[in-house]
Structure 1
Amino acid sequence: MRILKYTGLLFILLLSCFQATAQRKELKKAKIQFDNYAYSDALETYLEVANTGYRSIELYEQIGDAYYFKGELDYAYQWYNKLFNLHKEVEPEYYYRYAQTLKFVGNADEADKMMNKFSELSSDDLRTKMFLDNKDYREQIEENSGRYEIKPMEVNSNFSDYGPAFYKDKIVFASSRDTINNKKKRGRVDRWTNEAFTGLYVTPAKEDDSLAGKVEKFSLNLDTKYHESTPVFTKDGNTVYFTRNNYNNGKVKKDDHNGILLKIYRAKFNGTEWTDVTELSFNSNDYSCAHPALSADERTLYFASNMPGTYGRSDIYRVSINGNGNFGMAENLGPGINTEGRESFPFVSDTDDLYFASEGHPGLGGLDIFVSKMEPDGNYIKAYNVGRPINSERDDFGLIFNAVESQGFFTTNRKGNDDIYRFKEIEEFAYECKEKLEGILREEGTGRVLANTKVLVIDEKKKVAQEAVTDIDGNYSFEVDCGKQYIVKADRAEEALAQNEVKKGSDLGKVFNIQYIYFDLGKYEIKPEAAKDLDKLVAYMKQNPNMKLDVRTHTDSRASHKYNQVLSDKRANSIIAYIIDHGVEAYRVGGRGYGETQLLSKCPDGVICSEEQHRLNRRCEFIITEM
C-alpha cells in the first residue's frame, strides 16, 4: 500500500515535470511568433499555455500585447487586468497600455489613475508631459466635439477596409476582403491579423452616385501577394505614392526578426495603366516607412516610420521632393506631434493642416485623430483632438479632408473590423484663437510719435505678458489671445535705454524684438510677415546712415550639415538683398549663413530635443559692425 502511494506521487511529479517542459517549449515557440509579428499565431499558442493553468507576468504581458497590437483592446484589457491583479511590479509602459484599454471599456476615471501612476514612473516621457499639461483633456475634447456628421460607407465588407485616398472623383482604399478566397487557395493570410494581405480597391466618392457601393480592383499592375495600402495621388492623377511590403521584382526581403517590413513606392500612370513602380530612396531593410501624404504644393512627402531617431513605436516624418524627383533628408516632426507611443496615418489638407492618428496624445482611447496647424516657420508644434463623433474609445485613423467641400473620409473599428466612414464638417474646427493687437505709440498731449520705445502688454492678472520696441514710426504689434482684455503702455524709462542699446556689437534684431525671420520649410523667399520686421531695420538704418550691419542666419541640426549650410546661406543672401533693394547702400550690409555650426541649445544630430530648443537654434542675428 505504501509502495502504491509512492508510485502515485512519483507519477504526479513526473507529470508536472513533463508539463513544465512542454509549457516552456510552447512559450519559446510563441515568443518567436510574437517577435515575427505573427500575433494571431502567437495568441493561439499563448492561450493554450494559459488554459493549462500556467500564470506569469510575462505570459499575461505577451497576451495583452498581442491583442493590443492587433487593435483588439477589449481582449487586451482582460489580460492586462489579470496582469495587474497579480500585484507584481511591471514596466511603466504597461500602466500606459492598461490606461488605453480602460478608456476602451469606458472606465476613463480609472484610466486617469493609471496615467497618474505612469507619470510618476516615467517623468521624462513626452506622454507624461502632455497628460500633466492637459489634465482637463476630456473637457477639451468635448469642447471640440459635435463639429461633424458621420456615416459608414456602403462599400464596407466583413473584413478590414481602411486608408482612403482621393483620386479624381473616386476613393481608393485598402481592403482584406479576399480573405475567404485566399484561405481556400493557398492559406495566404497575414499572420498578424489572420486576414488576407490587403490590396487596393476603387469606388465612387459621391454618396448620391448611382454606382455608390460598387467596388473594383484598382490596378493589377500594383497588386502583389503581399500588402498594398494607403495611397496618395498627385492632383493631376498621374503619380501615386503607396505602401507595400518589402517586395521587389518578385522577391521578398525580411528583417533580422524574419519580419517583412513596409516601404513606400511610387508609380506613374502612362494613360492606360500604372507602371514604373519604384521604391523610394529613404526606405530601408532595417525599418518601416508607410502611409505617405503630400503637402498642398506637392513638394513635401509626409509619412510614418520607426527609423532611428523615432520617439516611440512610429513617428510622423517629412521629406522634400526635389525638382528632379529625388528626395531630401527625412525630418522628424518633433515632440509637438510625436510621442513615445504610436503616431501614424498623416494627411495634409489644402491649407497645410496636418491630420494624423495617435495613441500617445491624450485621447478617448485607442488611436484618436488629431489636427495641427502649420506655424509661420513651417513647423507643427501643437496638436488638437478633433473630438467626437470622429473619435471614439476605439481606433480611429486615416482621415482625409476636402476643405472646399467641407467633407471627407476616415477609418474606424468601432463596429469590430476596420470600416470607412464619410463625414461632413458642419462647424469649422477652432484652433486657439489669436488676433493682432497693434497701433502707433504717441506721447500724450503732444501727439509726438515715440520711436524705439519699449511697449508693455499687461494682461488681466496685471502681469507683463509681452514686450517689444516700437519701430522708427512708432508702430507696435503683438499677437494675443482672443476674448481677453489687455492694457498697452509705454515704458518711458526704456525710451532712452533703447537708444543706448544700439551700439557697435549690438544685435539690432533684439532691439526691435526680432529673433526669427520666418521662411517656408526648405525655402528662402522673404514672406510678408518677415518683410514687416525687415522694414523696421531698413527704416532705422536710413535714420543712421553710418551704421553697417552683418546678417547671420542659423538653422537647427535637423537635416544634413551640408543642406543646412546651403539653406542658411541662401536665407542670409535673401535678407541682405531685401535690405539693399529697399534703399540701404550695398556696402553697409553683408553677412552669411552659419548652418548648424553655432547651436545655442545642445541639440546636435541624434539628440532628442524639444521644438522650443530647435526653434532657439533657428535664429537670425543683425550685428552692428559700425555706427
Structure 2
Amino acid sequence: MRSFKTNIPVLIFFLGGLLHAQLKYNDADINFDNLLYVKAAKQYETMVRKGEQSQHVLQRLGDAYFFNTDMENAVKWYGVLFTKYEKILEPKYAFRYVHALKGIGDYKQAKGIMKIYTQKMDMSAYQVAQFHDNDEALDELMARQPQYYISNLGINSAVADFGPTYYKDKIVFSSSRDSLTFESRVYEWNRQPYLDFFMADTLDSGSDLANVTSFSSILNTRYHEAGATFIPEGNVVYFTRNNYTHQTLGRDGEGTNHLKIYTSELRGGEWTEAQEVSFNSEEYSVGQPALSPDGKKLYFVSDMPGSIGGTDIFVVDILRDGSFSQPRNLGPSINTSGREMFPFVTEEKLYFASDGHLGLGGLDVFESELGISGYAAPNNLGVPLNSNRDDFGYIVNEKTQRGYFSSNREGGKGDDDIYSFQRMEESCEQTVKGSVIRKSNAQPIVNVIVELVDTDGNSLGKTSTDPYGAFEFENVLECEVGYEIKISKQGFLPNETLFVTSKQKDYINDVPLEITKELNKLIVRENGVLKIKIDNIYFDLNKAEIRPDAAQELNKIVEVMKEYPKMVIKIEAHTDSRGSDRYNETLSDKRAKSTGSYIVSQGIEASRIESAIGYGEKVLLNQCSNGVRCTNEEHDVNRRSEFIIVKLD
C-alpha cells in the first residue's frame, strides 16, 4: 500500500503537499505536480508506448512509481532510464534506483548499482552511505543478529496510523482514520481523511494499545496534524501542522503550503489555541518536533537553508523566557544528502529515521549515542525492526527497552501501521588475536606458547604462534572485561600483558607482545649499578687485539644490546698493580677502546657506547697494590673489563 513518507522529496516530509499545479506541456506533468502519481504514471506510460522516451518522461515515470511506493515498476523504469541516459543523470536517480531495488529485496543488484555508479558518477558531493560504504557493510548489516521482537498493534486501521509519542501513561499518535468531525473530508492525493491526533491506553504488557479516542477537538483541524511531543509535565505540546490560520492554508510565492510547528498549553483541562514557534517560515517547512527528556532542547526536521540533504534534523534551545535559540544543524555525522527524519531523544541516545545512511531500503531507524564531543556514528538497528520499506517514528523506554515504531512494511493492516517492540539485550561478544616478536629486532617468533587467562587466573586455552608470529583464540570474550595473555618459549624469558575488551560487539582485539632471549640474565646489579656480566676476556701479553675467545664473550654483549635497542653502556678496563702505573693505564685504555671497536663492528651504533676508558690499576678490588705481595690468583681478580649500563630503556 502507498506510504506518505516515500513521497517526502515532494511532500517535504510526510504531511505537507504541493497544493497547486505548475503548468508544463501536458496533463501528466500537471498530475505529477499535484501528487496524483497513479494518474501521472499511466499517462507517462502511454507516452512511452507511443515512442516518447525522453529523459524527462522516464525520470517522471520512475519517480511516479517510486513516490507511490510501487518499487517493482520503479525498478523497471529506472532501469530503462539508466540504460539510455546514465552519463547525464543526477546522482539522486542512482540513489532512488538503489532504494527501489532494496524495496523489492534485490540487494545483490542494489550492491552492483552502488559500485557501478560510485565509479561512473561524481558522488563526492552526494553524501549518502549507500555510495561510500563497501559491499561487506551491507552484508554485515543483513547478517546481524536480530535484537527485536515486534508485534503489529490491534488498534491499527486500514489507513495511515503512525508517529506514536508518550503522553503521561498513554500514547498519542496520528491517523487518517475518519473522526467524523468534518464529515469524511479527504486528502486528494490518497483519498483518505486528513491526519488527526488520537490517544490510546497502554496495556500492562506494553505489547499493544487499546481504547482509541480523539485527542483534542481544539488541536485537530480541517488539515493535517502529526508528530507531537510533550514536556515532562505533560501540559505543553509541540506538534506539526499545515501552515493553517483562520480556516485557510498559507502558501509561499510558488503556491506551496509548508509545514510549521505549533505549541499549545493545557489549561483547565482544555488545550489552548495553538501558536506558531518563532523559527517557522513561509518559505520552508519545519516539523516533527521532539523534546529532550529535560524539556530544554527541541529537535525538529526541516529543509531550511543550510540543510545538507532533502530534510535534516536541527535543534534549538528552549530559553528560560520560553523563546528559542537559533536553529543548529546536527551536522554531517547525522545528516546526509538523503532524508533524516522523525527524531526521538532520550538521556542516552538520539534515534531517527534516514535513507541516507546505509540501510535496507526506504527509511531505516538509526541510533546515535550522545557524548560530550557530539553524536556518535549512527548505528542501523537492523532487522526485523528495519525492513526494505519505510520504518520510522521510533520511541522507547530505555529502562524497559519496550517501545513503538511505525512502518509500511508488507503484511500490515494499512498504509502505515504502528508496531510495538521489545528490544532484547544484545549479547556483546569479542575475540582476540595477536602476534609475538623478538624485542631486539622486531622479528616474528614461531612456536611461542600463548595462554589466555581470565581475571581469576583460570586458563581459558592455549595455542602457539605460526611462522609469522601470529596467534588467535576461538574463545568468545565478554565485553568490558579484563583478560591476560601469557607467552613462553624455551630460551626466552616469559612475558605477559593485560587487556580490557571494549563495549563494541563483534570486535577483534589485536594484542601485540614482545619476547626477550634469556641472554638478558647477564644483566646484574652490583652495588646498585647495572652491568652486563660476562666471563673475563683475555688479551695476549702487552697486546690490545681481540682474541677469538674474547670475541666469543663480547658477542654476548652484542646480543644483549640488540635485545635492548635503547641500551647505552660504558666500558671500563682495569689491570693489576704489576708494572708501572703509566704503562698499565695506557694498556688498559687501548684494550677498552679495542673492545668498544669490536662491539661496534658487530652492528651496534657507536653512539650507544658512551665511553671506553682504561683505568689501569686505579680501581683495585683487593689489597694487591704496589709493593704488596700477592698470589697470581689475587692479582687476577683486578684484571677485568666491565660493561656498565648507563641507559636501559
Match in the other structure for 2:290: 293
Between the aligned partners of 1:270 and 1:25, the Cα distance in structure 2 is 47
- SS of the aligned residue for 2:353 comes to strand
1:164 aligns with 2:181: no
Match of 2:77 among 46, 70, 79: 79
Match of 1:376 among 357, 367, 372: 372
- Pairing 1:28-67 to 2, within 5 Å after superposition: 28-37=26-35, 39=37, 42-43=40-41, 45-46=43-44, 49-50=47-48, 54-67=52-65
1:253 aligns with 2:250: yes
Match in the other structure for 1:200: 197
Between the aligned partners of 2:96 and 2:430, the Cα distance in structure 1 is 30
Between the aligned partners of 2:101 and 2:188, the Cα distance in structure 1 is 27
Between the aligned partners of 2:207 and 2:423, the Cα distance in structure 1 is 24
Between the aligned partners of 1:279 and 1:392, the Cα distance in structure 2 is 35
Contact 1:119 1:128 in 2 (8 A): no
Contact 1:67 1:73 in 2 (8 A): yes
1:362 aligns with 2:381: no
Opposite residue 369 of structure 1, the aligned amino acid is V
- SS of the aligned residue for 1:65 comes to helix
1:320 aligns with 2:345: no
Listed one character per residue, the Cα deviations across residues 304-329 of structure 1 (whole Å, up to 9, x for unaligned) are 11001111110111111111111101
Match in the other structure for 2:570: none
Between the aligned partners of 1:191 and 1:269, the Cα distance in structure 2 is 33
CA shift, 1:45, in A, is: 4.8
Question: Would the alpha carbon gap of residues 340 and 101 (structure 1) be closer, same or farther in structure 2, given more than 3 Å must change?
Answer: same
Match in the other structure for 1:484: 509
Between the aligned partners of 1:111 and 1:391, the Cα distance in structure 2 is 17
Match of 1:267 among 251, 257, 264: 264
Match in the other structure for 2:226: 229
Match of 1:238 among 231, 235, 238: 235
Match in the other structure for 1:410: 405
Question: Would the alpha carbon gap of residues 298 and 144 (structure 1) be closer, same or farther in structure 2, given more than 3 Å must change?
Answer: farther
Match in the other structure for 1:444: none
Between the aligned partners of 2:358 and 2:429, the Cα distance in structure 1 is 16
Question: Would the alpha carbon gap of residues 131 and 322 (structure 1) be closer, same or farther in structure 2, given more than 3 Å must change?
Answer: same
Between the aligned partners of 2:123 and 2:92, the Cα distance in structure 1 is 12
Match in the other structure for 1:311: 308
Opposite residue 236 of structure 2, the aligned amino acid is T
Between the aligned partners of 2:346 and 2:319, the Cα distance in structure 1 is 20
Opposite residue 420 of structure 1, the aligned amino acid is I
Q: What percent identity do the matched residue pairs reach?
A: 39
Between the aligned partners of 1:323 and 1:432, the Cα distance in structure 2 is 47
Between the aligned partners of 1:431 and 1:313, the Cα distance in structure 2 is 37
Opposite residue 372 of structure 2, the aligned amino acid is P
Contact 1:342 1:359 in 2 (8 A): yes
Opposite residue 150 of structure 1, the aligned amino acid is I
Match in the other structure for 2:280: 283
Listed one character per residue, the Cα deviations across residues 500-532 of structure 1 (whole Å, up to 9, x for unaligned) are xxxxxxxxxxxxxxxxxxxxxxxxxxxxxxxxx
Question: Would the alpha carbon gap of residues 211 and 372 (structure 1) be closer, same or farther in structure 2, given more than 3 Å must change?
Answer: closer
Q: How many residues align?
A: 421
Moved more, 259-268 or 172-181: 172-181
Contact 2:430 2:501 in 1 (8 A): no
- SS of the aligned residue for 1:298 comes to coil
RMSD: 3.4
CA shift, 1:137, in A, is: 1.9
Contact 2:174 2:195 in 1 (8 A): yes
Listed one character per residue, the Cα deviations across residues 354-386 of structure 1 (whole Å, up to 9, x for unaligned) are 111111111111111111011213x21411100
Opposite residue 509 of structure 2, the aligned amino acid is K
Between the aligned partners of 1:106 and 1:303, the Cα distance in structure 2 is 31
CA shift, 1:264, in A, is: 0.8
CA shift, 1:36, in A, is: 4.8
Question: Would the alpha carbon gap of residues 160 and 128 (structure 1) be closer, same or farther in structure 2, given more than 3 Å must change?
Answer: closer
Question: Would the alpha carbon gap of residues 224 and 294 (structure 1) be closer, same or farther in structure 2, given more than 3 Å must change?
Answer: same
Match in the other structure for 2:382: 387
Between the aligned partners of 2:427 and 2:56, the Cα distance in structure 1 is 44
- Structure number with bigger Rg: 2
Match in the other structure for 2:132: 132
CA shift, 1:58, in A, is: 1.4
- SS of the aligned residue for 1:109 comes to helix
Listed one character per residue, the Cα deviations across residues 415-448 of structure 1 (whole Å, up to 9, x for unaligned) are 3611100000112487999xxxxxxxxxxxxxxx
Match in the other structure for 1:401: 396
Match in the other structure for 1:583: none
Between the aligned partners of 2:164 and 2:306, the Cα distance in structure 1 is 29
Question: Would the alpha carbon gap of residues 26 and 329 (structure 1) be closer, same or farther in structure 2, given more than 3 Å must change?
Answer: closer
Match in the other structure for 1:96: 95
Between the aligned partners of 2:311 and 2:188, the Cα distance in structure 1 is 21
Moved more, 292-301 or 171-180: 171-180
Contact 1:103 1:111 in 2 (8 A): yes
Bigger strand fraction:
2
CA shift, 1:135, in A, is: 3.5
CA shift, 1:191, in A, is: 3.6
CA shift, 1:42, in A, is: 4.1
Between the aligned partners of 2:430 and 2:221, the Cα distance in structure 1 is 45
Match in the other structure for 2:341: 344
Between the aligned partners of 2:206 and 2:106, the Cα distance in structure 1 is 41
Contact 2:298 2:317 in 1 (8 A): yes
Between the aligned partners of 1:287 and 1:206, the Cα distance in structure 2 is 39
Contact 2:128 2:337 in 1 (8 A): no
Q: Which runs of 5+ in 1 are unaligned?
A: 1-23, 434-459, 462-476, 490-627
Between the aligned partners of 1:91 and 1:319, the Cα distance in structure 2 is 33
Contact 1:73 1:366 in 2 (8 A): no
Moved more, 331-340 or 84-93: 84-93
Opposite residue 382 of structure 2, the aligned amino acid is G
Contact 1:70 1:193 in 2 (8 A): no
Give me the TM-score of the superposition, normalised by structure 1: 0.61
Match in the other structure for 2:558: none
Between the aligned partners of 2:372 and 2:427, the Cα distance in structure 1 is 19
Between the aligned partners of 2:271 and 2:265, the Cα distance in structure 1 is 5
Listed one character per residue, the Cα deviations across residues 76-98 of structure 1 (whole Å, up to 9, x for unaligned) are 22332332344664332211111
Between the aligned partners of 1:174 and 1:285, the Cα distance in structure 2 is 24
1:110 aligns with 2:109: yes
Q: Which runs of 5+ in 2 are unaligned?
A: 1-21, 432-468, 471-498, 515-649
- SS of the aligned residue for 2:127 comes to helix
Contact 2:389 2:408 in 1 (8 A): yes
Between the aligned partners of 2:427 and 2:240, the Cα distance in structure 1 is 30
